[in-house]
Amino acid sequence: MTSDNKSSDLRKEIDDFIATGSANLAALRMAELWRKESGTGTAAFVVSRHEKIRDKTQLSKYRLAILRSFTLEPVLPLLRAAAFVNGIDLTVHLGDFNAYVQAIVDQDSSLYKFAPDGVILAVRTADLAPDLWQEYADLDPDGVRGSVQRVTNNFQQWIRAFRERSQAALIVHNLEQPARPSAGTLDAQLESGQCTAIQQINSDLRRIAGEHRGVYVLDYDGLIARQGRLRWRDERKWLTARMPIAADQLIQLSREWMRFLAPLTGKICKALVVDLDNTLWGGVIGEDGMQGIKLSAEYPGAAFQALQRVMLDLTRRGILLAVSSKNNPDDAMEALESHPGMLLRPKNFAAMRINWNDKSQNLREIAAELNIGIDSLAFMDDNPVEREQVRAALPEVTVIDMPEDPVEYAAALRECPAFERLTLSAEDQQRTSFYVAERERSQAEQTFQTKEDFYRYLEQEAEIAPVSPSSLARISQLTQKTNQFNLTTRRYSEPQIEEMAAKPEWQVLSIRVRDRFGDHGLVGVAITRDENEACEIDTLLLSCRVIGRTVETALLSFLGQAAVARGRSRLSGKFLPTKKNAPAKEFYAQHGFELQTQNSDGSLWQLDLKQHPIAWPEWIKLNKIDGGIK
């Protein structure tokens, strides 16, 4: 009963905070309450209290439509509560039973009138393919093939129709397999078995989704299998309320939806900061020593290896790892570098703070070093006192609650929705190596007498290419998220970039940089437009990880030479100041441009290319690529 008393105290505290107008404190306590007991009752409480403070808190608004063939009403409060505590104010439109086809096909339907940001299509196998569900035993192999084809065609038509009518994200539940196939054990022996047929539809669905931008599959079959097909279902509620999911499983569906909503609303973490002792390994390195800590393929060390494996998986998703640990640096580094049980090594960590400082201070420094916001950090520590200290000092950090038993650590980390991603670029997968190379670079820089010596030592290679189908997404992404070295901060979608590139007077270029420490990937964009004698720079941006080693001069020099080759005699460009782009402020002045006009919006600069050609930095090797979209 103590937990009940505790949570009723929390409820009272929340109501008191709301009554006195302390909305942020109320929101923090509600997050705590939701962590301690997430369920139908708590969800109703959280939703009703959030309604009272929604005007006083800063939440991302998101409009979600759910199209369905069964009762989902009881999942909505669970979803809205989870969304609220994750900083999302969700407005939900729930379609009528089995009205999903009309809703998708009719462009005047209530679905499109609702103007959703995202749509979930949740249809049961039994409703979409009754012949493959309860009447399966009556089908011959040709009949099975026909049904699979029909369902696949349905998905194809609906997804295509939806995309023609809406740009919203679409999340499609795949189809569940039966807990007990109608042919019994024989089903697994048959080429046209019931489970095989449904798997075939799911595999086709994945392919169809991949053919459209912003269409994602939710592995509903996998979710049910994970929870247990027999436990998932409640036959009585299905027969009385068209509610097929057992009460204690509803929360699982809402959590699965949150795994999509987190990345769709940008509520994601870019880096995971971990403790060392009793987190990455069992025991305390400073006391137990290299032989004493638990870290191996055998129990109990295996639990820690399993956690390290999950962390490695996260780096493949583009998530950075960092260490914040209270240790003597020499002890900790010895284990990180040479303990035979370690799966992670120093090269896997983008930043390290091994010292006796406050963890919240370390987290602030790590965010600054990695050039990401504090709200992009997740924190994992076995010590509940450290976790609470971080929660109190930096409420924007995602603190992962660790189970008592290390055997459950790996699963707890895999559960965290802040690490979900819906797409992956080549840059994402190599991100850690960029940061580790950067650390080596800045160490190397300090050993050189002159900057030029350092530039030569770097052996940089720049590959400049016109936009191509394979670089389109990355170029658009860079215009969307580059804030610091960005002269005009103009944001462009993929279709906008495509449209510009197709016009003869426009050039859309990307730059890729390599050096002796590794490949930086595609890190810069230049967009220009020719008009009469001048070539005007519409956009010029570089990722901050390559600034300050003359890549920006190389890109400008290339633009100048290309403009001359097209018969232009002047290069012009604007600098439009923002809160964040001070690093680009002096760029045109430093390269000999003359100020033409200036007002509160920005300044216009111009360079006579015949009198002042921009020299290519001799230490950078140019690799020019032709072709592209045009």
Partner 1 sequence: MTSTTFEQVRGIASDLFAVPQDQITGASSPETIESWDSTQHLNFVLALEEKFGFQLSPEEMEQMHNVGDVVKVVDSKLQTTSS
Q: Residue 93's beta-bridge partner residues?
A: 65
Q: Of the ranges 68-76, 221-229, 305-313, 368-376, which one interacts with partner 1 (CB under 8 A)?
A: 68-76
Stated as kind and residue range, the H or E segment containing 462 is strand 460-466
Name the residue nearer to partner 1 (CB basis): 78 or 614: 78
Strand pairing class (534-542; 570-575): parallel
Asked if 241 is part of the footprint of partner 1 (rule: CB under 8 A), the reply reads yes
Residue span binding partner 1 (CB under 8 A) among the ranges 37-45, 121-129, 265-273, 486-494: 37-45
Q: Contacting partner 1 (CB under 8 A), which of 83, 120, 123, 243?
A: 243
| DSSP structure string for 82-146 | HHHHTTEEEEEEEPPTT-HHHHHH-TTSHHHHT--SEEEEE--HHHH-HHHHTTGGG--HHHHHH
Candidate residues 6, 113, 236, 624; the one interacting with partner 1 per rule CB under 8 A:
236
State the binding string over 271-290 for partner 1 (x if CB under 8 A, else -): --------------------
Q: Is the dihedral of CA 159, 160, 165, 170 positive or negative?
A: positive
Contact 542, 485 (CB under 8 A): yes
User: Of 22, 25, 39, 454, which lies in the binding site for partner 1, with binding defined by CB under 8 A?
Assistant: 39
Contacting residue, 29, 42, 400, 406, with partner 1 by CB under 8 A:
42
Specify the 3-state DSSP secondary structure of 119: strand
Is residue 40 near partner 1 by the rule CB under 8 A?
yes
Computed on alpha carbons and rounded to an integer, the radius of gyration of the chain in Å comes to 28
Query: Is residue 230 close enough to count as binding partner 1 by CB under 8 A?
Result: no
Pull the structure tokens for residue 48: 């009703």
* Stretch near partner 1 under the rule CB under 8 A, chosen from 115-123, 237-245, 509-517, 524-532: 237-245
Buried/exposed code over 162-201 (b: 16+ C-beta within 10 A; e: otherwise): bbebbebbbbbbbbbbbeebbeeeebeeeebbbbbbbbbb
Task: Identify whether the C-beta of residue 511 lies closer than 8 Å to the C-beta of residue 458.
Answer: no
Cβ neighbors of 406 (< 8 A, separation 6 or more) are: 278, 282, 300, 303, 304, 307, 382
Which range of residues in 107-115, 123-131, 241-249, 471-479 is near partner 1 by CB under 8 A? 241-249
> Does 2 sit near partner 1 (CB under 8 A)?
no
Residue 234 or 519 with smaller CB distance to partner 1: 234
CA end-to-end span of the chain? 70
137 binds partner 1 (CB under 8 A): no
Nearest approach in angstroms of CB 232 to partner 1 is 12
Structure token pair of residue 481? 């998220």
Instruction: Tell me which DSSP letter residue 401 carries.
Output: P
Which of the 8 DSSP states describes residue 124?
-
Is there binding between residue 41 and partner 1 (CB under 8 A)?
yes
d(CA 218, CA 206): 10
Nearer to partner 1, 12 or 503 (CB): 12
4 binds partner 1 (CB under 8 A): yes
CB of residue 195 to partner 1, shortest distance in Å: 26
- Least CB distance to partner 1 at residue 17 (A): 17
Q: For strands 518-531 and 506-515, give the pairing.
A: antiparallel
Strands (E), 15-130: 60-68, 88-94, 118-122
Candidate ranges 88-96, 238-246, 370-378, 515-523; the one touching partner 1 (CB under 8 A): 238-246
Cα distance between residue 70 and residue 227, in whole Å: 19
Q: Which is nearer to partner 1, 237 or 529 (CB)?
A: 237
228 near partner 1 (CB under 8 A): no
590 binds partner 1 (CB under 8 A): no
Name which position in 16, 248, 459, 586 contacts partner 1 (CB under 8 A): 248
Angstrom distance (rounded) from CA 530 to CA 537? 9
Amino acid at 227: Q
Least distance (Å) from partner 1 to the CB of residue 412?
21
Amino acid residing at 75:
V
Query: Judged by CB under 8 A, does residue 126 bind partner 1?
Result: no
Of residues 42 and 152, the one with the C-beta less far from partner 1: 42
List CB contacts of 185: < 8 A, sequence separation 6 or more. none
Residue number with CB closer to partner 1 (14 or 171): 14
Smallest distance from partner 1 to CB 417, Å: 21
Could you tell me how many residues of this chain bind partner 1 (CB under 8 A)? 26
Q: Cα dihedral sign for 465, 466, 471, 473?
A: positive
Closest to partner 1 by CB, 48 vs 328, is 48
Q: Which is nearer to partner 1, 42 or 125 (CB)?
A: 42
> What is the SS3 assignment for 315?
helix
Among the residue ranges 71-79, 181-189, 201-209, 530-538, the one whose residues contact partner 1 (CB under 8 A): 71-79
Kindly state whether residue 73 participates in binding partner 1, applying the rule CB under 8 A: yes
- Which of the 8 DSSP states describes residue 85? H
Q: Which residues bind partner 1 (CB under 8 A)?
A: 1, 4, 8, 39-42, 44-45, 48, 71, 73-74, 77, 234, 236-237, 239-241, 243, 246-248, 250-251
